[in-house]
Amino acid sequence: MFDLVIKNGKVVTADRVFAASVCVKAGKIAAIVEPGTDVQADKTIDAQDNYVFPGAIDSHAHLNDPGYNWREDYSHGTAAAGVGGFTTIVDMPLQNEPALTDGQIFDNKLAHVSPNAYVDYCFWGGLVDYNLGTLHELDDKGCVAFKSFIGPVSPDYVSLSIGQAKEALEILKSAGARAGFHCEDYSIIKWEEARAKRKEKNDWRDFLDSRPVIAELIATQNIISLAKELDAKVHICHVSHPQVAQVIREAQLDGVDVTAETCGHYLAFSDEDVIKNGSLFKCAPPLREAAAIEGMWEYVNNGTLSCIGSDHSPCELSEKSEEAHGIFGAWGGISGIQNTMQVVFSEGVAKRGYCPTILARSLSEGPAKAFGIYGKKGAIEVGFDADIVILDPKREWEITPESLYYVNQISAFVGLKGVGLPVCTLVRGQVVAEDGKLVGRKGFGEFVKKIK
C-alpha cells in the first residue's frame, strides 16, 4: 500500500521520456511501474498525459533572509519557488544581515528561516577575506558550496583577490568542498565604469560596455587555472556567453572539476532588452547580444552548463530607479525564481525543439550532483525524495505582476508569454502548489545538507 500514486503521466528523466506511474511512500519514491499496473494507494493524482519531471533545484537564489526583508524573505521566496516548480533552493550567503560566514551565524539563520519555508532549501556558505578560518566549520554544518566574488560586489560582502581565492581553494579542497565564483574581472569593470562616468550623460550601452565578455572570460580562466593547479572543485556562477562556456567545456574535457550554471534570463533575453527597457533588465554579468542566446542553449544541451539557476535577486521598485540612482547605481538583479522552469520549457522545448530531458538534466540532476545532494534530490528514482513537478506542455501563459508571490511583484519576466506551465508541485510527496496557487504549509520545507 502506497501513500500516493501519480498515474497517466510521461515521466521525464535525464535521458528518456516514458509512460509510467510513480508510487510514493513516506515522502520517498517507492516504485516506478508500467502504466495500467494495479496499484493500491491512499491518494491518486491523475497527471492527464502531462510531463512528470523531477523537482527543480535552484542553484542560485538570493532570499535575503534575515536582514534584507524589504527585498525578499523565506515565506514569499519559497512560496514563489514552489509555484514555479523549484522544490529545493540553494540560498546565497550575501544580502543577509550578517552574511553567512561562520557556524553561529549559520545556526541563527537556520532557526530564523526554518519556520517559514514552503520548499526544501540548502545554504551556500560565505567565502570572504575574513572567514577562511571558519570554512571547515560551515562545511561541517552542511553548506553545499561556498560563494565568492572575483568582481565587484554589494557593500555587505567582500570580493577576493586571486591570491586569496587560491588559499581558500586549498582549504576547501581538504574538506572536499566546492567553491562558486562570480567571475568578472574587478579591474576591468571598475576602470570601464570610471571611463563611462567621465561622459556628460550615461546610457544603457555604457553599462553594458562596462562589463564586457572579456572581463567574464579572464576571471573564469583564472579560476579554472587555480582549480587545475590545486585539483580543487569550482563552480562558475551565471555564465552569460558561449565564449565563456567554451572555456569551461575545454577544462571539463581536460579533467578539471568545474561545474557551471546559466540562468533563464540569459536563455531568453538580450542586450537589446536592457537598452529598450532599462533597469528591470539590469543584471551582472549583463545580458549579451541576441546571437549568444542560441550558443548558450547548445552548451546547456551538451551538459557544459549543467545547472540553470534563477539568480533570483529581488529589490524594491525604488531601488531600480534610474532617476534616483543613475544607470550605474540602480539595483542590478532579476527576480526569476517563480518563472525559470516555465521560461526554460517554453524557450527550450516549445520554441527550439529540445527534448524535455534537457530540463531534467539542467534543473534537477545537474544541480543535485554539483552540490552534493544527488541520491536524495535530483531524479525520479526509487529511494529519492518524492520531489515532482507535473508540467502541462500545452498550457499557455502570460506572466503578470499579480501572479507573483514575491515581496515585490516586479520582474523582467512580467509581460512574457509562452507555453508549458507547472501545474502541480510536490515536495517529499506533499502537494505544495497547484495551478499557479500555493497550497502548501509554511514550515514544511526542510534544510538539506550536502551528502558526505
Cell digits for 430?
Answer: 506533499
For 6, the grid coordinates are 501519480
Domain 2-52+385-392+419-438 class in CATH: mainly beta
CA-to-CA separations, 8 to 1, 5, 54, 84, 253, in angstroms, rounded? 19, 10, 16, 22, 40
pLDDT of 6 reads 98
> Which residues make beta-bridge pairs with 123?
91
Tens digits of residue pLDDT in 215-259: 999 999 999 999 999 999 999 999 999 999 999 999 999 999 999
Per-domain residue ranges of the chain: 2-52+385-392+419-438, 55-370
Its sign, for the CA torsion 45, 50, 53, 57, is negative
Q: In the chain, which residues have pLDDT < 50?
A: none
Query: Given 2.40.37.10, 3.30.70.120, 1.10.3720.10, 3.20.20.140, which CATH number is that of 55-370?
Result: 3.20.20.140
Tell me the residue ranges of DSSP E strands in 96-177: 120-126, 145-149
CA–CA gap between residue 388 and residue 30 (Å, rounded): 13
The pTM assigned to this predicted structure is 0.98
- Residue-wise pLDDT for 344-369, tens only, equals 999 999 999 999 999 999 999 999 99
* Confidence (pLDDT) at 408: 98
Q: Which residues of 116-151 are buried (b: 16+ CB within 10 A; e: fewer)?
A: bbbbbbbbbbbbbeebbebbebbbebbbbbbbbbbb
SS3 state of residue 102: coil
